[in-house]
């Protein structure tokens, strides 16, 4: 995975190219449910260390990688009752995988973890890339010092649009602290969620898939709104390490706030976990059908 991105010495040289590329593709366009483009222009940027970005022009979904956030020594956030994000995320992920396997024949499901174990963030993206995934879905639970905050939000890779988005990504990226010597590992070269230069680098990859990621994320949030149990907080952008190196449409779903009494009660129930998985499943199904219709 490390060879996909420029080394520290080469990043300044490529930076100017990225600035031009990003300005052309217009990554600052607003997120909304209406944004469902038919095409994405291929970005032609080449270097000795970075392969060209491939245009996402598949007309089918064959492989879905489901990533249950946190795990093992990294519990993620917790609720007032003692619930832990790592357990809830895993149960929703497994339910989602079963729904896909049972209802979408021909679609292969790959999990980044199926037990309570710690998986480094770079490995999660590597699993998706090595399996040539068509979609990457990372499942999480949210938390805040304000217990009144509640609802579901789905993130795509991008610049922090608000301090709230930044705080969510910082909390999820905190999983890096459970990795030994992550700064020296070489797996996160030049990644700094607060660095404009880092965002330009990562945007080269994710902008090739951004519109499709937004489409999938919008589908998820529409299902949340339609079900009407949890509040729809919309589609947002922020700098998540786990999405950084994925080379396919990717989303991170914050399924609810464990620090909110009602959200926690819902997410710790079997009904809540199944409905959360179903919201994502229906979004995947609609995304798959949409791709297939575009080629008819």
Contact between 129 and 3 under an 8 Å Cβ cutoff? The reply is no
Nearest alpha-carbon partner for 209 in 54, 61, 63:
54
Three-state secondary structure call for residue 262: helix
Q: What percent of the chain has pLDDT over 90?
A: 52
Domain map (residue ranges) of the chain? 59-294
Nearest-angstrom CA–CA distance, 128 and 7: 22
228-250: pLDDT as tens digits: 999 999 999 877 777 877 888 99
Confidence of residue 191 (pLDDT cuts 50, 70, 90): low
Give the domain 59-294 fold: Aminopeptidase (3.40.630)
CA distances from 201 to 5, 31, 58, 139, 167 (A): 8, 21, 24, 25, 21
Listed in sequence order, the residues at least 6 apart from 178 whose beta carbon sits closer than 8 Å to its beta carbon are: 73, 74, 118
Q: What percent of the chain has pLDDT over 70?
A: 63
Q: pTM, whole model, 2 decimals?
A: 0.73
135-153: pLDDT as tens digits: 999 999 999 999 999 999 9
59-116: pLDDT as tens digits: 789 999 999 999 999 999 999 999 999 999 999 999 999 999 999 999 999 999 999 9
């Amino acid at each position: 995975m490390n060879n996909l991105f420029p080394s520290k010495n080469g990043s300044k040289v490529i930076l100017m190219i990225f600035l031009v590329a990003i300005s052309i593709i217009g990554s600052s366009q607003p997120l909304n449910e209406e944004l469902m483009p038919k095409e994405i222009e291929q970005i032609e940027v080449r270097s000795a260390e970075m392969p060209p970005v491939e245009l996402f022009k598949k007309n089918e979904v064959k492989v879905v990688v489901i990533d249950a956030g946190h795990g093992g020594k990294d519990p993620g956030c917790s609720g007032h009752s003692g619930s832990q994000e790592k357990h809830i995320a895993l149960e929703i992920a497994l339910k989602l995988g079963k729904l896909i396997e049972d209802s979408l024949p021909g679609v292969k499901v790959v999990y980044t973890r199926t037990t309570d174990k710690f998986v480094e963030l770079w490995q999660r993206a590597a699993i998706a890339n090595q399996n040539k995934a068509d979609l990457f879905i990372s499942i999480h639970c949210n938390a805040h010092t304000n217990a009144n905050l509640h609802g579901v939000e789905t993130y795509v890779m991008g610049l922090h649009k608000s301090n709230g988005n930044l705080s969510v990504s910082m909390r999820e990226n905190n999983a890096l602290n459970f990795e030994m010597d992550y700064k020296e590992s070489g797996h996160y070269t030049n990644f700094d969620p607060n660095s404009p230069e880092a965002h330009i680098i990562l945007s080269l990859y994710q902008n090739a898939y951004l519109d499709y990621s937004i489409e999938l994320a919008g589908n998820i949030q529409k299902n949340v709104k339609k079900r009407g149990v949890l509040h729809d907080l919309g589609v947002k952008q922020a700098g998540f390490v786990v999405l950084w190196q994925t080379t396919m449409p990717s989303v991170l779903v914050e399924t609810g706030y464990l620090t909110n009494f009602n959200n926690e009660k819902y997410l710790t129930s079997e009904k809540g976990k199944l409905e959360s998985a179903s919201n994502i499943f229906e979004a995947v199904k609609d995304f798959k059908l949409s791709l297939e219709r575009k080629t008819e």
